């Protein structure tokens, strides 16, 4: 399928998908990042790994290539079953094809294809070392809703950018189709205004309540230690009186240089206020929302310990910077 254009390079670009797109996608990412060590998902730069993900239904891969097969741009997406939303990943445009709005064109095409399959909720995680991809998504109606601080080893993956920070960060972007209702969420009073503002900007309605009673039963959590990012991800679906003890036990299992933690706290659970207070008491800080209006709504809490995150070095669009300042006022 050809991509429409007034002329020039973009008129020679062709859109492909599926296994056919795997090699073009890998080559395009390599042209942007130079080496696998510089990219946070090295398997995305390997054709065989991409084909395996495509065949298994784990990921849809799109690519734009020139008539002679040279990579021009790539974009992929995957369904997150728990959150009932589509995560858009790996937007990259070859340096020779930048300025032709290929990123916008491919994102728009992907959204159309996903909507044909009934998908209405989309999100993306943007690494905060450049603003090009973020600007594309903002033009397509995505809005920033929060941050994951300290999830990428900047010295390892982004050494070519000469960052002083030991780890980098991601911004969370959300796009919903039509009206979305987050239901009732339970928050400490001081977060009410910023949370309501984030939901409003994302086109989602929300009822905010504060549950001050003691939680009943044990906490229900899932976790994953990402060795590549040296980050412990903890999903709390129910906050009980033992939450702090459970999280501290996990932290003791996963220690080391550059180790950081990210908690997704289910705020549809009445115990979430207690959970927030328990996590805040030992170093987790409010970092925004991952509001997907699926089975649960998640408040993001990050813990960087002694890991350096120099926020002055993060490169952000104006909307992301405003959100960071707003969240900082609440922390």
CATH code for the domain in which residue 251 is found: 3.40.630
Backbone angles phi, psi at 300, to 5 degrees: -95, 130
- SS3 state of residue 104: helix
Whether 19 and 124 share a structural domain = yes
pLDDT at 272: 95
Residue 311 domain flag:
yes
Residue 1 domain flag:
no
Final residue of a structural domain among 145, 176, 207: 176
Residue 20 domain flag:
yes
Residue 2 domain flag:
no
Q: CA angle, corner 228, sides to 225 and 234, nearest 5?
A: 25
Whether 39 and 162 share a structural domain = yes
Whether 116 and 235 share a structural domain = no
pLDDT at 6: 38
pLDDT at 160: 55
- In this prediction the pTM is 0.89
State which residues form the domain around 242: 183-330
* Segments of the chain scoring below 50 in pLDDT: 1-7
What's the structural domain count of the chain?
2
Residue 89 domain flag:
yes
pLDDT at 1: 40
Q: Compute CA distances 228 → 27, 72, 200, whole Å.
A: 22, 28, 34
d(Cα 259, Cα 4) in Å, to the nearest integer?
A: 46
Residue 216 domain flag:
yes
pLDDT at 251: 95
Whether 187 and 220 share a structural domain = yes
Domain with 32 in it: what CATH number?
Answer: 3.40.630.30
Whether 23 and 169 share a structural domain = yes
Query: Do the beta carbons of residue 171 and residue 144 sit within 8 Å?
Result: yes
Whether 235 and 220 share a structural domain = yes
Looking only at Cα atoms, what is the longest distance across the chain? 66
Q: For the segment 141-198, what is each residue's pLDDT rounded down to a tens digit? A: 999 999 999 988 877 766 556 677 888 899 999 998 777 888 999 999 999 999 999 9
pLDDT at 3: 41
Whether 27 and 147 share a structural domain = yes
Residue 260 domain flag:
yes
Query: Do the beta carbons of residue 243 and residue 257 sit within 8 Å?
Result: no
Whether 115 and 62 share a structural domain = yes
Measuring CA to CA, which residue among 103, 151, 102, 106 is closest to residue 125? 151
Final residue of a structural domain among 176, 200, 219: 176
Whether 273 and 150 share a structural domain = no
Whether 161 and 273 share a structural domain = no
pLDDT at 287: 97
Final residue of a structural domain among 154, 176, 198: 176
Burial class for 266, CB neighbours closer than 10 Å (0-12, 13-18, 19+): buried
Residue 3 domain flag:
no
| Token reading at 33 | 């990042």
Whether 242 and 294 share a structural domain = yes
Whether 158 and 22 share a structural domain = yes
């Amino acid at each position: 399928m050809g991509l429409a254009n007034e002329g020039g390079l973009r008129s020679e670009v062709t859109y492909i998908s599926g296994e056919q797109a795997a090699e073009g996608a890998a080559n395009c990412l390599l042209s942007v990042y130079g080496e696998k060590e510089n990219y946070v998902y090295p398997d995305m730069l390997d054709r065989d790994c991409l084909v395996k993900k495509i065949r298994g239904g784990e990921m849809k891969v799109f690519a734009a290539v020139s008539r002679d097969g040279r990579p021009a741009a790539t974009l992929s997406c995957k369904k997150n079953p728990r959150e009932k939303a589509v995560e858009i990943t790996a937007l990259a445009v070859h340096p020779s094809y930048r300025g032709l709005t290929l990123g916008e064109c491919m994102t728009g095409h992907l959204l159309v294809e996903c909507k044909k399959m009934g998908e209405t909720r989309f999100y993306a995680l943007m690494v905060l070392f450049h603003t090009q991809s973020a600007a594309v998504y903002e033009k397509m109606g995505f809005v920033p809703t929060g941050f994951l601080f300290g999830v990428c080893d900047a010295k390892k993956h982004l050494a070519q950018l000469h960052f002083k920070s030991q780890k980098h960060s991601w911004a969370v972007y959300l796009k919903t189709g039509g009206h979305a209702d987050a239901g009732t969420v339970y928050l400490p009073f001081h977060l009410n205004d910023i949370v309501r503002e984030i939901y409003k900007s994302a086109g989602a309605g929300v009822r905010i309540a504060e549950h001050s009673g003691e939680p009943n039963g044990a906490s229900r959590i899932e976790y994953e230690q990402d060795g590549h990012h040296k980050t412990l991800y903890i999903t709390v679906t129910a906050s009980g009186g033992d939450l702090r003890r459970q999280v501290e036990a996990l932290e003791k299992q996963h220690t080391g240089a550059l180790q950081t933690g990210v908690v997704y706290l289910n705020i549809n659970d009445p115990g979430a206020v207690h959970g927030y207070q328990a996590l805040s008491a030992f170093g987790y800080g409010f970092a925004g929302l991952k509001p997907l209006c699926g089975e649960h709504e998640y408040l993001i809490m990050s813990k960087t310990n002694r890991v350096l995150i120099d926020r002055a070095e993060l490169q952000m669009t104006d909307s992301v910077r405003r959100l960071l300042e707003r969240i900082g006022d609440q922390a």
